A and B are shown apart, each in its own frame.
Chain A
Amino acid sequence: MANIDVLTILPDLILIGFAFALLLAGAFSRVERQVNFNMVSALAFVVAFTVNWFQYGADKFGFYNMFMYDQVAGVFRFIFYGIGFLVSLMSEPYICGRIKHKGEYYALIMLSTVGMSFIATSYDLIMLVLGLEAMSLSVYVLTGMFKTDERSVEASMKYFLLGAFSSAIMLLGIAFIYGTLGTTNFGEVLESFKSGLGGTKPQILLVGAMLVLAGVLFKVAAVPFHMWTPDVYEGAPTSVTAFMISGVKAASFIMLIRVFVLGLQIVVFDIVTVIMVISAITMTLGNVCALIQKNVKRMLAYSSIAHAGYILVGFVALNRTSLGAIIFYLMAYALMNIGAFAVLALFQDRGNSLESLSGSGFKYPFLGVMMTIFMFSMVGLPPTAGFMGKFYIFKGALEAGYVWLVVLAVLNSVVSAYFYLRVLIYMFFEDFKGTVRPAINATPTIVALLLTSIGVLYLGVFPQNLFELTQKCMTYIH
């Protein structure tokens, strides 16, 4: 077992190679003009995805047990590469003209995805933090990519300061855990718990676990660590918001599962109570705050907090169904968010007020239909992926007996219907005011929209394969 197995991170190495190539290409202005960066980036993700496809199935350890590539990691890699692919497709018309060096943008997307993938594959708390930082640092920069736009820079600064702070807290927690158990490796944690501590749980271990949890919940954007979310999601370039809201969220949840279900299983039942309360507050607060937003991006930011709450319900239930449901929900969530943000990005508007969408639904029917699909999916109405995701999460939670949490969650989704439908009210029920105009020559974005909408509908009607896949891969719990 003790060996370096490069194959465990092969697709990530490919991405890193592509990222460096793009950075290099961006350095030569003659080359920069000729390269179609978004296509290269999309290609990189397709290659990584394909490699992962062939690797999927077998459990592998690598880099002296720093990495463990198992089925969960494989599925999450599919999610991350898929997100990267879709975001690469949809970005071009939005960043065109706003970002000078596009090579950097796509390279950062790829490096951030590598970070996410490291999180999903890590088998050691240190590796996990490395992945987390690789992901976060790239995203901080991406957030501030519009260098002349105050809000973008402000969001980046805010995100960076708070993110660094939360990482520090998390590291402190890891230090406590290391101090108690003498190891950061997931495999050895359980051993030392049995041999060194004789099955007792010292307080300091719980404190460490709580601190790590705080760091993870910051990334998840759960209450009370959600304060940065609206500002950052609103200020960041729309395509980057799409990337964060789907990718970073998925990465944070695999981090949660990886750390507490795979690694520190010994404390998982201690933290579940905390998470239960947090999930209840998170979904309620997210939805209530979203009710009064006038800016679509800000509204979706609050809604992402609410969705984090729903997904945490799946974690609270802590059974195979519900953990599988989390994966399914993250896929559905990524698809509908990237789709919704792709529509916003196509409209190119930096204001993103609800008002500016007035009448655009009938003026641009294709985008109108797309937005309708995504909004109804976020509400959780059939026949969309959002419905199946919620159904699956609730099923898991009811299996564990959390009736009240499910009732709270379904009532919350009624509240959420109001603000998601408000987007459609403006798009379809108001008259066109001529404030938005979709970008022309946006074929890749339209392809991304088609892919996401077909994905949302397909998962909504035929979820069977993914239900099965997510169940099967969740081998941490029986």
Chain B
Amino acid sequence: MEGIQILTIVTFFPLVGVPLLVLIRRENVELLKNVALAVTVIDFLLSLYLLFYFDPSEPGFQFVERRQWIKSIGAQYIVGIDGISLFLYLLTTFICPICILSAWKYIDKYEKEFLVCMLVLEVGMLGTFCALDMLLFYVFWELMLIPMYFIIGVWGGPRRVYASIKFVLYTFFGSVLMLAAIIFYYLYIGKVTGEYSFDLMKWYEVLAPFGIQIWLFAAFALAFAIKVPMFPFHTWLPDAHVEAPTPGSVILAGILLKMGTYGFIRFAIPLFPHATHAMLPLLVALSIIGVVYGALVSVVQPDVKKLVAFSSVSHLGAVMLGLFALNMQGVEGSIYQMLNHGLSTGALFILVGMLYERRHSRLIKDFGGIAKVIPLFAAFFMITVLSSVGLPGLNGFVGEFLIFLGAFKANPLWAIIAATCVILAAVYLLWMYKRVMYGPITHEENKHLPDMNAREVGLMVPIVILYVVMGVCPNYFLSKMHASVEAFIDNYHKRVVMTVHERTEPLAFIRGGK
């Protein structure tokens, strides 16, 4: 394992941009943006290496790199990706340049600091998706909070201070308990196996007694459920989304929310299968409530951005449902839907941001009939809305279909209730689209809105291409996930039937005090 491997290069490459940005004079805004864009684009191109050299038949981790980090406590620098994280990783490198493009005009102060925040954020996100050492994972996981806090707080809307602090406190609350659980489990595993290590592979080999699993699962699940966000932990999301600047919202919707679902797949479920099994009814119920609740709340939103934000709650509920179906279709659909949601909701936020830049309003009632004024925009908006609704032929359909298939297999009732979200999604999105785009032009200032410029088209085109590609040939993507997802499911079902003896010996370990 000598020499720096591709994953490390891709993960830390954005940091190269930071000193460059610091050296460029702050007046030279165009150059700053171009440098940041170039860095993220190069990073994306580098990450394509992973796509081409990824071996779809291998269920385990690939491109693994191991290094000593903190030897005395057994923490290592381990990175690697499998079929589950591959596309989430690529999605991150793909979304970041688009975010920077979308910030081109929207961010009009402290551009330098903003771009530095974006680059650091990208490192945090990439690291989270490829870290295979629990302590390393936690470091990356928390690292994301810092730049995101600033992005919302400095460049956000009128209630940005409130939204930023709420975002940080909520997320931090969940993750510190996870930290306590991580250390606890680390010590437990050390006691049982005699080897103290944060290596995830080692952790996968251990099964704790149910009494321990359930608490640890609760701590992990809370951290991830807040990030997803699952109902009833979703209340930070509308605030953070609405107040965040466009690129912030895109990152939030596109990547950060996926951290939660990813956390469930990678950590919470495989590490604590018995606890998952026991908690399944509750988790599924919360997912379904999230699906329906998010959709219903979206219907009545007067603010487009808020509508999109709540639709995220609904979509992520569906993702969680697919995940907890714990069968091939459900989990694959869930991962696929994570990518779809990242693309289409990210795009929706970009489009809403464009509207806001033109009109300085996001209220549905301030628009109406503008499809005639800005036809190009209307077209892109339409495709994105349809993708989000799940029109066959576009990406959203594949994910949703698989999720409902999986959920139906697990329990038809789940699928039937959750499927209402498709109808409701059509209601809130298409109705919103109608009210914003069609009808007579009711406001004078809407008559002369400029249409999308080359940059805006340029940033939307790759997304739209992906909609179609992912909608038409999902197999290209699914085939790469297949082996890993299969291993994940097999492993879960194999382990959940294993009986764990409630031995008294490991429990004595939490007796407290001397």
State the A residues within 8 Å of B (CB): 269, 272, 318, 362, 365, 372, 376, 379, 381-383, 387, 391, 394-395, 398-404, 406-407, 410-411, 413-414, 417-418, 421-422, 424-425, 428-429, 462-464, 467-468, 471
Contact = CB atoms under 8 A, between A and B. Distances in A.
Residue among A402, A406, A407, A410 facing the most chain B CB atoms (10 A cut-off): A410
B138 A400 contact: no
B126 to A, nearest CB: 15
B146 A381 contact: yes
A418 B143 contact: no
Contact of B165 (A269, A401, A425): A425
B153 A429 contact: yes
Contacts of A404: 512
Given A394-B179, A395-B183, A414-B176, A382 B139 contact: yes
A462 B68 CA distance: 10
17 contacts: A362-B113, A382-B138, A382-B142, A387-B139, A391-B135, A391-B179, A391-B183, A398-B184, A401-B509, A403-B510, A414-B169, A421-B168, A422-B165, A424-B153, A428-B150, A429-B161, A429-B164
B453 interface: no
Contacts of A269: 514
Contacts of A463: 70
B360 interface: no
A414 B179 contact: no
B242 to A, nearest CB: 16
B165 A398 contact: no
Residues of B contacting A: mostly: helix
B71 A464 contact: yes
A398 B509 CA distance: 9
A406 B180 contact: yes
A421 B149 contact: yes
A269 B511 CA distance: 17
Nearest to B511: A401
A288 B70 CA distance: 34
A470 to B, nearest CB: 10
Contacts of A429: 153-154, 160-161, 164
B271 to A, nearest CB: 17
Interface of B: 68-73, 110, 113, 135, 138-139, 142-143, 145-146, 149-150, 153-154, 160-161, 164-165, 168-169, 172-173, 176-177, 179-180, 183-184, 186-187, 509-514
Contacts of B149: 421, 424
Contacts of A468: 71-72
Nearest to B109: A362
Contacts of A387: 139, 142
Contacts of B509: 401
A381 B142 CA distance: 6
A337 B54 CA distance: 47
A296 B150 CA distance: 20
Contacts of B184: 398, 403
B139 A467 contact: no
Given A407-B177, A464-B71, A421 B139 contact: no
Given A362-B110, A410-B177, A414-B169, A467 B70 contact: yes
B187 A395 contact: yes
A471 B70 CA distance: 13
Nearest to A426: B161
Contacts of B176: 410-411, 413-414
A425 B153 contact: yes
B512 A414 contact: no
Nearest to A464: B70
Given A383-B139, A391-B179, A395-B73, A400 B146 contact: no
Contacts of B146: 372, 376, 381
Given A414-B169, A464-B71, A381 B510 contact: no
B372 to A, nearest CB: 40
A403 B211 CA distance: 14
B183 A394 contact: yes
Nearest to A375: B146
B444 to A, nearest CB: 33
B145 A381 contact: yes
A411 B110 CA distance: 34
A417 B511 contact: no
A23 B493 CA distance: 77
A402 B513 contact: yes
B14 to A, nearest CB: 15
Given A381-B145, A401-B509, 16 more contacts: A269-B514, A381-B172, A391-B183, A394-B183, A400-B513, A401-B510, A401-B513, A403-B180, A410-B176, A413-B176, A414-B172, A417-B169, A462-B69, A464-B68, A464-B71, A467-B72
A272 B514 CA distance: 10
A105 B349 CA distance: 58
